[in-house]
Structure 1
Amino acid sequence: MDQQQQAHVLLFPFPALGHIKPLLSLAELLCHAGLHVTFLNTDHNHRCLTHLQRLSTHFSTLRFESIPDGLPIDHPRNVQLIGDLMFSVKSVTKPKFRDLLADLSTKSERPVTCVIADGIMSFAIDIAKELGIQAMTFWAFSPCCLWSFLCLPELIEEGQLPVRGEADDMDRMVKGVSGMESLLRRQDLPNICRRQLDDPIFQFYVEEIKAITQTSVLILNSFDHLEALTLSYITPFFSRIYTIGPLTALLTSRITHDVLQSLSSFNNLWEADRSCMTWLDSQPLRSVVYVSFGSTGIMTRGQLFEFWHGLVNSGMPFLWVVRRDGIGHIAGVEGEHAIPEELHEGTKERGFLVDWAPQEEVLAHQAVGGFLTHSGWNSTLEGIVAGVPMLCWPTIADQQINSRWVSEVWRIGLDMKDTCDRSTIEMMIRAMMKERREEIIMSMDRIAKLAYDSANQGGSSYHNLDKLIKDIIKKI
């Protein structure tokens, strides 16, 4: 058996869909290259994503395993209770992971030779090293977010944190993040910076970021030309960095179209309502605003109605993903929250609402002209690959800093953070779709081409993936 066939990589994402999706793409790419892969989920996500296990019919070298996350079965595991999941995984899942990895490394017919763990799962890296297994960190957020996190000690020392949330405080420029002095405002820092310094979740990130620099090997879902300056600041912290993004574009360049088509249902982590594609077929070219705030975002009913009014009042056709677990579902809105007639009529005339959509297909559809997004890193990259201008409404994690980069660094969209009123939403949608569209499209066309070039043969991400695979094999 040659080294390529002996290579066995275990991928372990943090148990949230935004972290699972990119690592699943990496799993497919590694399997396509002939490596054996074990994809490790928590029991809860393993049950919720049962359709993923059928990927093994396409990739014979892919298998799925699961371990407990330590939370009760009926725990909502949403972003409002993210701390419960973080601390439970760290305390309960850690020993379970040790046992599983030890078994897969000693009793398995094909021992694990490499562990690639999520950037906020440092215990998995530590355990892999203890067992003498090659270990790498996969960072699911943006590189600009990572750099701001790496600067947390300086931000604390400079008295920049916590961000208090007062109007005069939010617009102040941030000192302590090299290369971003004239760009980064306090409101653009990742949302954990709005927590008190002794807050357990803030401390969780401080500890994880300190640990990540001990990993030495880092994998980023980004590409060199997108964040060259940021990467230059991150590089000294690691012995090796592999920029292999956008992963969705790499899948397109590496795997044949027919196979990708058959994989599309698996790459949608939730079941998508495909009726929206038929609706899009009936809409004019580049006329539709696609609206999705990701897999974990939560909005209040008040925010729901502000967005709804803004969308209807903009006069643009819109396709809106409204998750049942993201708010009180629209169908259940009653009494004082009853849907006004103008929203009923406006939506009937030019709107379409779904629980979940096949996002990459939607963004690639010729009818879609703009993307109203939460600025999660996966969505940001998917918007770039599709070349669709973005209007950003960030709430958690790296979304605040991503939206700043979208609007002010790459100039491929507009930033609407910390604002949720119908008149602003209407105005910003019209700006994205009409008044400022030409200037945004010029920048987006350039960035989208760079993404395409990086992921295709001869490009930096294509080359870096080859190098990553060779280095995984070489360590056996």
Structure 2
Amino acid sequence: MEEQQSLPPHVLIFPLPLQGPVNSMFKLAQLLCYSGLHITLLLTENIYNRLVLHTDITSRFDHQFHGLQIKTISDGLHDDHPREGSKFMEVFESLRTKTKMLFKDMLTSDLLCDGGRRRRVGCIIADGILGFTCDVAEEIGVPVFCVRTISPCCLWIFFCLPKLIESGEYPFKDDDLDEPIRSIPGTETFLRRRDLPGFCRSGDLEDSNIQLFEIEGQENSRGYGLLLNTFEELDSPILNQMRTICPNLYPIGPLHANLKKKLTIENTSSRSSSSSLWTEDRTCIDWLNNQLPNSVIYVSFGSVATMTNEQLMEFWYGLVNSGQRFLWVIRPDSIPGEDWKTKIPADLAMGTKERGYIVGWAPQEEVLAHPAVGGFWTHCGWNSILESVYEGKPMICWPYFLDQQVNSRFVEKVWELGLDMKDTCDREIVEKMVKDLMVVRKDEFLERANHMSKLAKNCLMEGGSSYSNFERLVKDIKSLSDKV
């Protein structure tokens, strides 16, 4: 027992099996590893297999992070079962019903102890939507921290769903999506129906999404604390609202920049290990190297969003007609069932050859940090927004699902960092917004983005808000682990 106690505390991290949460939790795992903790990162087998296929992640961890081990667990579905987009609720249900017992068995065995070279797990950090992890933690007497990798503004709306229903504002009484929402504290002056998560438009209280997210406030308050990938200076008003339900918050973001800073201090490779579920095409960096500063708009709709061929054409014509240079990520599965490469009109092909570059996937953090990039047309995933904020890049927002509808409204109306294009797919609007961002209002947006970028960088400096919150987190983990 004494020998075990002399070892570092052992923390298990269990992310939601989607690109965004996995990406964030890899960074958190590495940061905690640098703080002298032993980390087990628990991934579903499907996610792990995709990472091995597309990255060198295991070999890089072996060399850089000796205290970090990766373990896998079944999500309960067959290998060929679809897991993204609209099918993710099936993954979630399978995790809840089939993975829970596997998770408990893993924690109560010696499987994670690495032959006695690690303590038993003394602390769990799990995605707050995976409520069964809190059940198991309570059963075996291990402290648990919840973590949410979506935006705090969307999480706050989830917390307020019961109030939204009780007030009678939801379900909507008519089809006017521009009707203001008044019953969510802190957002009364700018939030509209169309800015709520997309599943709210169904108007069905029995919708599985409504039932899942309606209890977010209860679930996330079960842990010792709630970890958030944001910083006080960006989200202070919303964080103060959230503290009425979850008093012990740890805003420790932007996580990607927090890790990058740590890697620099440790004289390690400046690029953290990739956790992308797609193979990155680095030729786009060579192309950017030949462009003028702030001359390129980077376009990427993330790892899940899809579009129709008609939408693709409207976006493409808008980009080409804007006359601006563009780097566009079009994933192999972006247009389901369509072989778009064989149907490119001649004028688009010529315009792209002159001013554009298209890849299947890009090293996004590196792209956004590139001086040639002057704007970002994004789906508004939370990782993408934070990366854009940190690098001082204004945004055009075309949200797809979940927190993205809320995020896009905050980008335009609260943070004033760009333009919200939700519910729109028209080449003339695309052309106008690209011109506004990159030419007409370029100086205005860059000034605001540069200001927010400085705040994001300052929060990670010694004594900064995220720096201090992370130090507090490590201290609390060590203290709680020693009591197990």
User: Which runs of structure 2 are paired with 1:372-387 in the superposition (5 Å)?
Assistant: 372-387=377-392
> Which residue of the partner structure matches residue 17 of structure 1?
19
**Percentage identity across aligned positions?**
44
Q: Offset at 1:439?
A: 1.6
> Which residue of the partner structure matches residue 111 of structure 1?
120
User: Which runs of structure 2 are paired with 1:60-459 in the superposition (5 Å)?
Assistant: 60-104=66-110, 109=116, 110-163=119-172, 166=175, 169-195=176-202, 196-256=204-264, 261=269, 263-328=271-336, 332-334=340-342, 338-459=343-464
Contact 2:284 2:362 in 1 (8 A): yes
CA distance in 1, matches of 2:237, 2:295: 35
Greater CA drift, 74-83 or 58-67: 74-83
Segments of structure 2 that go 5 or more residues without pairing to the other structure are none
Quick one: structure 1 residues 265 and 474, their matched pair in 2 at CA, closer, same or farther if it must change by over 3 Å?
closer
The match for 2:45 among 20, 40, 43 is 43
CA distance in 1, matches of 2:212, 2:7: 38
Deviation per CA, 1:22-48, whole angstroms, max 9, x where unpaired?
A: 111000000111100000010101111
Q: Offset at 1:87?
A: 1.0
The one-letter code matched in structure 1 to 2:368 is L
The one-letter code matched in structure 2 to 1:99 is D
Q: Offset at 1:340?
A: 1.0
CA distance in 2, matches of 1:142, 1:326: 24
Deviation per CA, 1:50-70, whole angstroms, max 9, x where unpaired?
A: 232221321000000111111
SS in 2 for 1:88: helix
Quick one: structure 1 residues 163 and 65, their matched pair in 2 at CA, closer, same or farther if it must change by over 3 Å?
farther
Q: Offset at 1:253?
A: 2.2
Greater CA drift, 277-286 or 154-163: 154-163
Greater CA drift, 90-99 or 19-28: 90-99
Contact 2:134 2:144 in 1 (8 A): yes
Quick one: structure 1 residues 229 and 2, their matched pair in 2 at CA, closer, same or farther if it must change by over 3 Å?
farther
The one-letter code matched in structure 2 to 1:135 is V
What's the TM-score once normalised by structure 1's chain length?
0.95
The one-letter code matched in structure 2 to 1:71 is L
CA distance in 2, matches of 1:151, 1:64: 36
The one-letter code matched in structure 2 to 1:212 is N
CA distance in 1, matches of 2:6, 2:192: 47
Contact 1:250 1:456 in 2 (8 A): no
Q: Offset at 1:88?
A: 1.3
The match for 1:462 among 444, 467, 470 is 467
The one-letter code matched in structure 1 to 2:85 is V
CA distance in 1, matches of 2:449, 2:245: 31
The one-letter code matched in structure 2 to 1:171 is D
CA distance in 1, matches of 2:273, 2:148: 25
Q: Offset at 1:214?
A: 2.3
Greater CA drift, 99-108 or 116-125: 99-108
SS in 2 for 1:136: strand
SS in 2 for 1:21: helix
Q: Offset at 1:4?
A: 8.2
Deviation per CA, 1:159-180, whole angstroms, max 9, x where unpaired?
A: 22235883xx211110210111
CA distance in 1, matches of 2:33, 2:384: 24
> Which residue of the partner structure matches residue 28 of structure 1?
30
Quick one: structure 1 residues 329 and 286, their matched pair in 2 at CA, closer, same or farther if it must change by over 3 Å?
farther
Contact 1:164 1:194 in 2 (8 A): no
CA distance in 2, matches of 1:164, 1:74: 41
Contact 1:244 1:465 in 2 (8 A): yes
Deviation per CA, 1:295-340, whole angstroms, max 9, x where unpaired?
A: 1111111111111111111111110110112214875544xxx211
Greater CA drift, 397-406 or 183-192: 183-192
Deviation per CA, 1:160-217, whole angstroms, max 9, x where unpaired?
A: 2235883xx2111102101111111111112232232111222122234432222241
What is the RMSD computed on CA atoms of the aligned residues?
1.9
Segments of structure 1 that go 5 or more residues without pairing to the other structure are none
Quick one: structure 1 residues 265 and 220, their matched pair in 2 at CA, closer, same or farther if it must change by over 3 Å?
closer
Quick one: structure 1 residues 415 and 273, their matched pair in 2 at CA, closer, same or farther if it must change by over 3 Å?
same
Quick one: structure 1 residues 441 and 106, their matched pair in 2 at CA, closer, same or farther if it must change by over 3 Å?
closer
SS in 2 for 1:407: helix
The one-letter code matched in structure 2 to 1:185 is R
The one-letter code matched in structure 2 to 1:181 is E
